[in-house]
Chain A
Amino acid sequence: MKRVAIVGIGHGKFGVRSDASLRELTFEAVKACLDDAGVSLKEVDSMVTGIAGDEFSLALQPSAQVHDYIGFYPKPNFRVEGACATGSMALRTGWMNVASGLADLVLVVGVEKMTEVPTSVATEIMGRGGDSMWEYPFGTTFPGYYAMMANAHMAEYGTTEEQMAMVAVKNHYYGHLNPFAHMQKEVTLEKALTSFTVAHPLKLFDCSLITDGAAAVLLASEERAKTISTKPVWIAGLGLATDTMRITERESLTSIAASREAARIAYQMAGVGPADIDVATVHDCFTIAEIVAYEDLGFCEKGEGGKLIEAKETYVDGRTPVNVDGGLKSKGHPLGATGVSMAIEITKQLRGEAGQRQVKDAEIGLTHNVGGTGQVAAVHIFRRE
């Protein structure tokens, strides 16, 4: 297998982008990515596009809109889908293209245009990320699923609503320092705790945002990477795992088994462990999800996630800085773009280009991206050398 590096990154502005269509959002990210790498699109061998929802994009093959608009034809473009983990699955597919020797230079694009449909419709589409045949009849929504995990975690480990709100406070603090974030606003603990209930016990500030956005990275083989970038970031480990469709059939409601398995595989492949991770982006679609991720990724013991955020150990100067780009919570969660955006943040951190949010001397980074309620999870590990 060939070694694969990220040699270019491009992040569009996340937000309610009523000024731009899916294809136009993608153009912004692709242009920025090619500029960052100093490469022209003509040099790229193939492309992978991550878009989660046909329903959001109101099209059957939205990825064709993307390769058409940036002028990438007749070369291959693969569309990948894995709900909220779509972006990481696109990155993995791009990695497979390069590692196999099929291509030397691959553009990985993640994009989602979520606000073209009304919020209630978006809520319905995402709710169907659960089992649309057996669970949807009970009015389930995405916040509803994670609320059920939160109530189980609170009952089993004594995790509190305050601890969940502390995740929101942290992620909004870093989001306000990230110019690409959807909500560049700090929130206080009190404001987070008194916001309206979306699904008991989760309140507005426990939930990530419905966001439009695009992100792109350029992957290169070792030979090409050395000619393109002086600061390549290497993909050192990849783990992907799956679980049951229905949360009623999960072995646990306080842990995401697919995350644990994906992490195990990725750590093993990279030859590192949780203590070696200098900086991480984890799937905080809800504040409880970040707390569960701390535990599933081994940043703390099972049940201790609430205490980890309470001790501020996941801030930039803590033991394991997590989501110091604002996370899904404040940066926003355009489904297909999220996993790619996570890889961009880790690349910036390992290049030393994260500005006020920089983790000192970061060498090893991790991304963790969950699809749906845990039907699929991807963990990737990146290294500077």
Chain B
Amino acid sequence: MEFKDFSLAFSQTKVGRFAKDLAEGRIMMTVCRGCGKKYYPPRADCSHCMGSEMEWKPIKGEGSLVTFTKIYVPPEHFALRQPLMPFSTVQFEPCPIGILEVEEGLRIMGWMPKMEIQKIRVGMKLKASPQILPDGKVTIVLEAM
């Protein structure tokens, strides 16, 4: 599992193990050994004390939803380009996304595949979990606990 299997575009970073951890079922943060500041997404360097000694720790992904949306007009990377057959149409049904606050100041973005947009509410209690996709890539989903 390479970092690109999560980020889609980038493979070169000091925090590349994040994707491997996701594939093994853990969402990880980094914690600065110098000042204790927690980072999600994980960082190799601390902008609070300028230290670079970091400890990797799993995040307990339970929290409340800060906000959400459902993007109907996707960027090129996610767009379906062609209907498969002449005279056929493809019904594109996008997936909502949201931001979950798991503890003070620590927020996780994720897909919400099992949620109907009209039923999503700010403040809902959800859990963030890693998920391996059919194409082998890895991502994060937000689901009911």
Contacts and interface: CB of A to CB of B under 8 A. Distances in A.
Do A and B associate with each other?
yes
B70 A199 contact: yes
Interface in A141-158: 141, 143-144, 147-149, 151-152, 155-156
B98 to A, nearest CB: 8
B74 A123 contact: yes
Contact of A148 (B7, B10, B67): B67
A100 interface: no
Contacts of B122: 151-152, 155-156
Nearest to B75: A124
A247 interface: yes
B121 to A, nearest CB: 8
Interface stretch (A60-68, A129-137, A169-177, A316-324): A129-137
A121 B99 contact: no
Q: How large is the interface on B (under 10, 10 to 19, 20 to 34, 35 or more residues)?
A: 35 or more
Nearest to B42: A134
Contacts of A118: 76
A195 to B, nearest CB: 12
A144 B69 contact: yes
Nearest to A148: B67
B69 A148 contact: yes
Interface residues of A, number: 36
Given A144-B97, A155-B123, A138 B109 contact: yes
Given A133-B13, A136-B9, A200-B70, A123 B76 contact: yes
B40 to A, nearest CB: 8
B68 interface: yes
Given A137-B8, A248-B99, A199 B72 contact: yes
A135 B97 CA distance: 11
Given A148-B99, A151-B69, A155-B122, A139 B78 contact: yes
A137 B19 CA distance: 12
Contacts of B72: 196-200
Nearest to B68: A151
B1 interface: no
Given A141-B71, A199-B69, A248 B109 contact: yes
Nearest to A121: B76
B71 A139 contact: yes
A142 to B, nearest CB: 9
Interface in B1-56: 6-10, 13, 41
Contacts of A127: 75
A135 B8 contact: no
A51 interface: no
Contact of A152 (B67, B75, B95): B67
B2 to A, nearest CB: 13
B139 interface: yes
Contact of B79 (A120, A134, A138): A120
Contacts of A143: 71, 73
Interface string B122-141: 11000000000000000100
Contact of B74 (A134, A141, A148, A156): A141
B67 A151 contact: yes
Which of A127, A147, A200 gathers most chain B CB within 10 Å? A200
A253 interface: yes
Contacts of A358: none
Interface string A192-211: 00001111110000000000
A360 interface: no
Interface of A: 118, 120-121, 123-124, 127, 132-141, 143-144, 147-149, 151-152, 155-156, 196-201, 246-249, 253
Given A120-B75, A151-B67, 11 more contacts: A123-B75, A123-B76, A137-B8, A138-B139, A139-B75, A144-B69, A144-B71, A151-B68, A155-B122, A198-B72, A200-B96
30 contacts: A118-B76, A123-B73, A123-B74, A123-B76, A124-B77, A127-B75, A132-B10, A134-B109, A135-B109, A136-B7, A137-B8, A138-B97, A139-B71, A139-B75, A139-B94, A139-B95, A141-B75, A151-B67, A151-B68, A151-B69, A155-B121, A156-B122, A197-B72, A199-B72, A200-B70, A200-B117, A246-B41, A248-B107, A248-B108, A249-B107
A-B interface, 4 closest residue pairs, ranked by CB to CB distance from nearest: A124-B75, A155-B122, A147-B69, A124-B76
